[in-house]
Amino acid sequence: MRFDRLNNVTGWAIWALATLVYFLTVEPTASFWDCGEFIASAYKLEVGHPPGAPFFMLLARFLMIPMNPESAAMAANGLSVLSSSFTILFLFWSITHLAKRLTGQDQPEGGAAVAVLGAGAIGALAYTFSDSFWFSAVEGEVYALSSLFTALVFWAILKWEKVADQPGSAKWIILIAYLMGLSIGVHLLNLLAIPAIALVYYYRNYTFSWKGLVITGAVSIVLLGFVQEALIKGAVQLAGGFELFFVNDLGMPFNTGALVYLVLLVGAIVALVVVSQRKGWWAANTLTLGMAMVLLGYSSFATIMIRSAANPPMDENDPQNLFALLSYLSREQYGDRPLATGQFWDTPTALDKPYLNGKPAWVKSYSVMKKRGPVNRRVKSFKGEYAAENFVKTNAGEKYFIVEEYVDSGEKRGSKPNYNSDFTMVFPRMYSSTASHIGEYKKWSNYKGFNSPTYYTSPLLEVAMSRPEFETHLENDILAAGMAQAELERVLRRLFADYGQRFDTDFGVQGNNVLLVRNPETGQMNSAPLDNAQMRSSLTGYIVDQLDKGLEYGKGHVQRLERTKRAQEEDLRRSTQRANQTRNQDDVRRALQAEGRLTKTLEELMPTQGENLRFFTDFQMGWMYFRYFFWNFIGKQNDVQGHGDFMDGNWLSGVDFIDAERLGNRDTLTQEMMDNRGWNRFFYLPLILGLIGLAFQAFRDPKGASVVGLLFLMTGIAIVVYLNQTPLQPRERDYAYVGSFYAFAMWIGLGVMALFEAARRPEVKAHMQGLALPLVAGVVFFLMETMTGGSHALSYSVLFMGVVAAALYAISWALGKAS
């Protein structure tokens, strides 16, 4: 049997298995979070939350039509099941395409054919049963259908690559454009495949050069931005401009401008297609057809406007006109996230103009007008024509008439914070001013040593002490030690100097058993006898509080700065108010001085770039991406949502001595925790196989590896950067990164090819050189962790994976030797 036929048969067998598994485990009704909303919106074609998913809604509704109302949820869940199983089918075919390239044979035979099909099967099944994808596969959400589109367009560009030199190959590019357009009506995640697709196109049509690679990458990012901003939003924005001109300026009825725009757009596309075909401009012809297909697929959003105009029970944001639709597509209700530059959580707004106006919020209005001389004066505005007509009839004595127009509701005036540019930063990650988020920002970034324990030193001892230890030392070994007056004063002066403060500012020594302490309210110096135990204890605590002011790190330091800032803000408010009232130069000067003091404190409070990046690496990358990645390819602790603690939501491997370094001894857990059904253990095996596949493809087919790698990065780390997520997310977000896990599953499959090659060509030396790297790295990490006093989780993990990889290669080598 020819390989192509075997490839098709095996692929459909994998699809059948995935379909069976998913249907056996499908949710019978609505799952938690957005599923109920998506099912309801599909059942009655209602308008869900921005930016909408009209194509998902239409497909789910199509499946619901022949079913009873009580089975509507099952129909929507069934759409996810079929979408997911077809995703597995196209993943299998994508892996076998890449694996065939590694064999150098167009029609592999014998062992090579088995290895290629085995690679496809292992990679596809690894993804089939991965935690995150399986979860999305059995519930009525958009992510399964979005995954299908990602799988489809990636498979389609690989098909194009195979026939790129043949006549008519451009049909695959046009198909990809249409699928991209349709996918916009499901989720924007699919657009992240554009750079990988562009890279395949570059490798197939041009000779490789680093300059060409960089240009291709830049063009693909521009194309991605063009589709997201110019096509998705720009097309609607331009249509809105036409509509506003025709209705408000020319006095035409509602929707006239939209119709004119649609006619001109279709006419321009048709003209470009015809002219480019007649002139033989095939690149322009393909580009124009591609844009037309994107817009055709994107046209599913007309459903949102049509259904919103019908005022269904669920009509979020009421996007029944072009301006409301643009706000809906722009997700304006969720607010803005800074990306390249922006504020931190406590950035003040500009004093002269704290808020700026947003874009006009145009709303449809049936305005009752009255002619007054040459000018028409608006008397009242109504949302509906019927209400406007009733008003005119009720006031029949007045010469009122109705005009259709768009009016600015004014809701966006003064709605945009104008942050002080002196307190903004590059690549801001900690921007939310929500109180609960601020506390988490400080913990994750170790903001100014926020998590660090405070240690104290004394001129009498060479050891660092905790606060209780230091207070005991200060009270017993200094204040109650019976020193001579001069010795006591010398020791206290040295102690305060070590903390950057002057002892005689608020204290003095009156005798060997009496200190002088300044009353902060009256400013007078009062005696404090040291032979009084109660007084000595109180004085000890007060002295340590004063010494704390000299600390430049730690939770207490941060809290003191924040208290100072609040007092200075109040002082600035009062002094500014007084200066505005009196216009007195002295009052103005005091206000400027208050502003200067506040500015200095804000500069101290502003996070450093290191703290900003620590939050990015530890929380956004580590907790919100790699933790999910490890769930799927190493193992999962439990199914309880975690927020950074070691008890819930972590990844684990099942190798107890490694897990104990991060999560403690599992034997101490309760039986309920031990029995959690989310406890998955993969012992690093999928990760190891994927890394072997990555290395193997990188050496054998670096172009193919760069394509898969770019898909991996764009659907993983790029999303992390773009989302800029805040702490304390309401739910786990692993579903957003399944495209990245899809790419890694390809490398798992190619890992099988690597082991096949190890068995076929048992060259021990070449393999051992590659395997030495993780073993040496593990030893280096172990030594570094030992010197810094950290846990050995990283070094143990790297060493374990190196040993397992060596064992896999040894087994493959032995099999090859025996054969």
Q: Give percent above pLDDT 90 in the chain.
A: 52
- For 251-330, strand residue ranges (E) read none
Higher pLDDT, 148 or 410: 148
- Over the stretch 678-727, which tens digit does the pLDDT of each residue have? 888 888 888 988 998 998 899 899 999 999 999 999 999 999 999 999 99
Confidence bin at 396 (pLDDT 50/70/90): confident
pLDDT in tens, 471-503: 999 989 988 888 888 898 899 999 888 888 888
pLDDT on residue 54: 94
Q: What's the Rg (C-alpha) of the chain? A: 34
Between CA 309 and CA 8 the distance in angstroms is: 46
Which of helix, strand or coil describes residue 650?
A: coil
Pairwise pLDDT comparison (570 vs 790), residue with the higher score: 570
| pLDDT tens string 249-285 | 998 999 999 999 999 999 999 999 999 999 888 889 9
pLDDT bucket at 40, cuts 50 / 70 / 90? very high
Confidence at residue 768, expressed as pLDDT on a 0 to 100 scale: 56
**Of 667 and 580, the one with more pLDDT:** 580
Which is it for the CA torsion 486, 492, 498, 501, positive or negative? negative
The tens digit of pLDDT for each residue in 320-338 reads 889 999 999 988 888 889 9
What is the pLDDT averaged over residues 798-814?
A: 66
pLDDT at residue 398, rounded to an integer:
81
Rounded to two decimals, what is the model's pTM? 0.87
Q: What is the mean pLDDT of residues 600-605?
A: 92
Q: What is the mean pLDDT of the segment spanning 367-391? A: 84
Mean pLDDT of all residues in 446-466: 87
Q: Which amino acid is at 742?
A: Y
Give the mean model confidence (pLDDT) for residues 789-800.
Answer: 62
Q: What is the pLDDT of residues 658-684, one digit of tens each?
A: 888 788 887 777 888 888 888 888 888
pLDDT digits (tens, 9 = 90+) for 173-226: 999 999 999 999 999 999 999 999 999 999 999 998 999 999 999 999 999 999
Question: Is residue 143's pLDDT more than 80?
Answer: yes
Instruction: State the average pLDDT for the chain.
Output: 88
Q: How far apart are CA 441 and CA 614, in angstroms?
A: 10
Sign of the torsion formed by the C-alpha atoms of 375, 381, 383 and 388? negative
- Here the contacts of 730-737 (C-beta below 8 Å, separation 24 or greater) are 731/33, 731/641, 732/628, 732/641, 732/649, 733/624, 733/628, 734/131, 734/132, 734/135, 734/628, 734/631, 734/632, 735/132, 735/135, 735/136, 735/141, 735/143, 736/143, 736/189, 737/132, 737/625, 737/628, 737/629
Q: Average of pLDDT values for 564-582? A: 90
Per residue in 109-129, pLDDT (tens digit) is 888 888 899 999 999 999 999
Residue 432 binned pLDDT confidence (cut-offs 50, 70, 90): very high
pLDDT category at 625 given cuts 50, 70, 90 is very high
How far the first Cα of the chain sits from its last, in Å, is 24
- Angle, CA of 645, 646 and 649, to the nearest 5°: 80
How would residue 783 be classed by pLDDT, with cut points 50, 70 and 90?
low
* pLDDT in the model for residue 779: 62
